[in-house]
Structure 1
Amino acid sequence: MSTIADLHRKKKQIVVPVFYHVPSSNVRRQAGPYLDHFNLQQSRYPEETINKWKTDMTYLSNVYGFDIVDSNGQEPNHLERIIGDVAKKLNHSFTLITSDLIGIQPRVAELERSC
């Protein structure tokens, strides 16, 4: 996570955090299981390293991303939104050569329509 935060901060890489089955606010505040995890790591890593991780998690949770907390089986819909968002950020249009992939044509056409 620290490497991702550094790439976003220093190299201006595009980052799209996806918080899957966890609210970004829990990551931002290191609450719940995140607090427990950091407490467990204190005996294994230097305090400086843990503090950097906490800072980076807070930073990334403030970057525009996607919270997928209660998906109710809607993962494909969320995935389509995420792919569309990334494609827009990268100014990418899907022009794949897909003639050899059986059954992919309708999916590619649908994806192109959503972008």
Structure 2
Amino acid sequence: MKCQRERNQIVVPVFYGVDPSEVRKQTGSFGKALAEHEKRWPPDRVQRWRTALTEAGNLSGWHLMGDR
């Protein structure tokens, strides 16, 4: 996401086996993983990850559910 902002690069997220809203809102497995990371990493770093996931979840991309 930093490259998109600073270098004007194109970012196309691929959501494989996960709903984009789960990434955007950090629910389900993403929420659990981030909660665990908050125990081990500095809060500002985890907050940057949360912000980047929200931004990525808001982008148009491919939502792939299934085996193809």
TM-score band, normalised by shorter chain: over 0.9
Alignment partner of 1:38 is 2:28: no
Q: Which has the higher contact order (CA 8 A, sep 6+)?
A: 2
Alignment RMSD? 0.9
Runs of 4+ in structure 1 over 4 Å off: none
Quick one: which amino acid aligns to residue 64 of structure 1? S
Give 1:1-115 correspondences, 5 Å limit.
5-69=1-65, 71=66, 73=67, 75=68
The aligned counterpart of 1:87 is none
Partners in 2 of 1:12 and 1:66 — Cα distance?
20
SS in 1 for 2:15: strand
Partners in 2 of 1:20 and 1:48 — Cα distance?
27
Identity across matched positions, percent: 32
> How many residue pairs get matched?
68
- 1:61, CA displacement in angstroms? 1.1
Structure 2 unaligned runs (5+)?
Answer: none
Compute the TM-score of the two structures, normalised by the length of structure 1: 0.57
SS in 2 for 1:67: strand
Structure 1 unaligned runs (5+)?
Answer: 76-115
